């Protein structure tokens, strides 16, 4: 509850004065708020390694000046400060810690990483629908994991991920995504950045240039860049990454999202997937297959993953439970090819790496999958999202007609809306906000922007309530074209 004072051992100021000053500063700056109970004299003395005398003297001085009050048989409590001259916003640095002004200055420098506005119609590009999350089943299984007789679950788990969960993932991926692997090829982590960092360390001695889809998911380009790689943008065609440009890029590693390209949503046909695999074999390179929402295909036959098309291909498959379950679980995974397993184990030995994903969440998820609840949930969510997807497309066609075009339908959590308007992208963004509609521009997804930037906006349909899709699209159309 209390910060430790910075003692000035070389000065002449008594310890009780230094402690008094430090406590007073905590009260004045508002970090010790009104009615906060202070530790007892004996407890604070023990905490600070002092005798009780300087603590008692500091408390008595604070008591005399009205900063604290003493309640019989209860202890010391922080008093209210009615004088406006000593309110937290007017306090200045004194003793230790940072002042309110310093805190405000730090906060003002923090970049706005997410748009935290509340929208009447929220077409968030990647929001889940949590109304159907299996709260009761998850809570029951989590509580079973936390039973007293399983105290060992609170210790470090397997650095690679819980063996039982890896076995369940391997079985699920084989049945639903056509992945061919053993559970020992699966590596679990808390987020994509951590897993990509491991890949960058494993391949850094071989490759220092990585090809990324343009436009694409910039986490890949930026993560590899932070690890000393050069990220080379590779253009897209109507059916996915440009193969000729991939060869010309002179890279040994490429990132593709064949099942539902982010952000444009095209689905790479099997013929082009085989061409990408041929590229990897020709240049002795590696492919990272991003299958972030591969479970969600709404119309047409499912297309198996790229990883399972050719035996023993140099494909690193990336997946996770953020989209299909919830991002808050913090469980992602990658499937490594056999050719990288020794590099991975060498990295484990060299870094003494521990598991970043919650062991409790892993064990709960394992039980959830073992009981068949996960596949049941996937089927339910796919059906639910299909309804939303179809209603969204119908609403866009009804209201926009030929004034906009949908790009990337039939899979995933979003589509792109290319708008045919004389208004600038910024004008369209502001008009949408004024109408209470979240429709984020896709311009940030370009690593190398085209000469003329298309006016394209994300329409996420997974998180918005079903009955708000139609009025939301109508509100967006009115905002953009009511004066036309």
pTM: 0.80
In a domain, residue 10? The reply is no
- Give the per-residue pLDDT at 90: 41
A 10 A CB-CB count for 237 gives 13
- Statement to judge: residues 353 and 442 lie in one domain: no
**Alpha-carbon distance 429 to 425, whole Å?**
6
CA 337/CA 314 separation, integer angstroms = 6
User: Is 6 part of a structural domain of the chain?
Assistant: no
- For residue 426, being part of any structural domain is answered with yes
User: Phi-psi bin for 250: left (phi > 0), alpha (psi -120 to 50), beta?
Assistant: left
Q: Which of 459, 78, 448 is nearest to 265 (CA)?
A: 459
pLDDT for the residue numbered 294: 80
Give the number of other CB atoms < 10 A from CB of residue 255: 28
**Same-domain pairing of 228 and 151:** yes
Helices (H), 412-455: 425-434
Model pLDDT, residue 96 = 41
Residue 238's domain comprises 135-371
Q: Is 437 part of any domain? A: yes
393 and 453 part of one domain: yes
Q: What is the pLDDT of residue 358?
A: 94
Tell me how many domains the chain contains: 3
CATH number assigned to the domain comprising residue 421: 3.90.1150.10
- Residue 220: give its domain's CATH number: 3.40.640.10
Q: For residues 76 and 65, is the Cβ–Cβ distance under 8 A?
A: no
3-state helix, strand, coil in the chain (%, to 5): 45, 15, 40
- Looking at the fold, whether 224 and 301 belong to one and the same domain comes out as yes
Consecutive H or E run containing 68: strand 68-71
Q: How many CB atoms lie within 10 A of CB 90?
A: 14
Nearest to 263 by CA among 114, 445, 429, 404: 445
The per-residue pLDDT for 104 is 60
| Residue 7, domain member (yes or no) | no
Of 255, 253, 254, 278, the C-alpha closest to 203 is 253
Name the residue with tokens 């159309």.
477
Mean pLDDT of residues grouped by 10 in the chain (484 residues)?
A: 70 86 88 89 89 91 90 89 49 44 59 75 92 96 82 85 97 93 97 96 89 96 95 96 97 95 92 96 97 85 85 95 93 97 94 92 96 96 96 97 94 94 95 96 94 95 96 97 82
Helix pair angle (163-177, 359-370), 10° resolution:
50
Residue 97 lies in a domain: yes
First-to-last alpha carbon distance for the chain, in angstroms, is 61
CB 21 within 8 A of CB 94: yes
**pLDDT value at residue 112:** 58
What count of residues does the chain have?
Answer: 484
Do 289 and 305 contact (CB within 8 A), yes or no? yes
Residue 84 confidence (pLDDT)? 44
Element (H, E) at 214: strand 209-214
Rg (CA), the chain: 28
Whole-number Cα distances in Å, 335 to 158, 179, 180, 185, 200: 16, 9, 9, 5, 15
Last residue of one domain, picked from the residues 312, 347, 371: 371
Indicate if 94 and 191 belong to the same structural domain: no
1: in domain: no
Residue 428, beta-bridge partner list: none
Same domain, 101 and 234: no
**Geometric angle at alpha carbon 91, from 86 and 94, rounded to 5°:** 115
Give counts: helices (H), strands (E), the chain: 15, 15
> CB 127: neighbour CB atoms within 10 A?
17
User: Quick one: which of 295, 258, 257, 297 has its CA closest to 389?
Assistant: 297
348 and 424 inside one domain: no
323 shares its domain with 465? no
What local confidence, expressed as pLDDT, does residue 301 receive? Answer: 74
Residue 393 CA to residue 201 CA, distance in Å, equals 43
Same domain, 298 and 363: yes
In a domain, 5, yes or no: no
Kindly state whether residues 52 and 201 are assigned to the same domain. Answer: no
Same domain, 354 and 394: no
Last residue of some domain: 371, 404, 419? 371
Query: Helix (H, G, I), strand (E, B), or coil: what is residue 152?
Result: helix
Among 80, 73, 7, residue whose Cα is nearest residue 40? 73
**What's the confidence (pLDDT) of residue 325?**
94
> Rounded CA gap, 23 and 20, in Å?
5
From 319, 336, 371, the end of a domain falls on: 371
CA distance 320 to 336: 14
Both 31 and 79 in one domain: the answer is: yes
């Amino acid at each position: 509850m209390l910060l430790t004072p910075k003692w000035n051992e070389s000065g002449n100021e008594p310890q009780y004065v230094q402690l008094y000053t430090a406590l007073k500063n905590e009260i004045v700056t508002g970090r010790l708020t009104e009615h906060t109970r202070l530790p007892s004299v004996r407890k604070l003395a023990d905490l600070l390694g002092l005798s009780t005398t300087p603590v008692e003297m500091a408390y008595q001085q604070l008591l005399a000046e009205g900063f604290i009050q003493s309640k019989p048989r209860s202890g010391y409590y922080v008093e209210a400060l009615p004088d406006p001259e000593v309110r937290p916003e007017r306090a200045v640095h004194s003793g230790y810690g940072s002042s309110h002004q310093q805190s405000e200055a730090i906060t003002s420098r923090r970049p706005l990483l997410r748009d935290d506005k509340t929208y009447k119609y929220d077409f968030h590009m990647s929001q889940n629908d949590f109304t159907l999350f299996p709260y009761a089943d998850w809570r029951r299984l989590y509580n079973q994991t936390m039973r007293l007789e399983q105290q060992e679950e609170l210790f470090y788990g397997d650095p690679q991920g819980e063996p039982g969960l890896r076995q369940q993932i391997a079985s699920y991926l084989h049945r639903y995504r056509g992945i061919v692997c053993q559970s020992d090829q699966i590596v679990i982590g808390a987020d994509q950045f951590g897993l990509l960092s491991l890949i960058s360390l494993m391949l850094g001695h071989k490759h220092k240039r990585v090809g990324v889809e343009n436009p694409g998911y910039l986490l890949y380009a930026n993560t590899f860049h932070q690890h000393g790689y050069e990220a080379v943008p590779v253009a897209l065609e109507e059916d996915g990454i440009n193969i000729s440009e991939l060869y010309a890029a002179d890279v040994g590693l490429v990132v593709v999202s064949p099942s539902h390209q982010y952000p444009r949503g095209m689905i790479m046909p099997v013929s082009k997937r085989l061409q990408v695999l041929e590229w990897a074999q020709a240049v002795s390179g590696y492919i990272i297959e991003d299958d972030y929402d591969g479970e969600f295909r709404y119309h047409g036959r499912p297309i198996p993953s790229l990883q399972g098309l050719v035996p023993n291909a140099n494909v690193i498959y990336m997946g996770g439970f953020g989209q299909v379950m919830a991002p808050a679980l913090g469980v992602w995974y990658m499937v490594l090819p056999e050719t990288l397993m020794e590099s991975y184990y060498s990295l484990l030995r060299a870094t003494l790496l521990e598991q970043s994903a919650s062991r409790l969440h892993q064990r709960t998820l394992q039980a959830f999958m073992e009981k068949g609840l996960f596949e049941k949930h996937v089927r339910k969510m796919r059906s639910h999202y299909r309804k939303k997807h179809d209603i969204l497309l119908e609403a866009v066609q009804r209201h926009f007609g030929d004034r906009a075009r949908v790009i990337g339908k039939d899979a995933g959590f979003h589509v792109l809306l290319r708008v045919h308007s004389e208004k600038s992208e910024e004008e369209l963004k502001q008009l949408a906000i004024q109408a209470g509609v979240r429709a984020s521009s896709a311009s940030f997804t370009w690593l190398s922007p085209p000469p003329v930037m298309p006016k394209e906006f994300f329409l996420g349909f997974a998180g918005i309530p079903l009955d708000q899709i139609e009025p939301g699209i109508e509100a967006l159309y009115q905002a953009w074209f009511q004066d036309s």
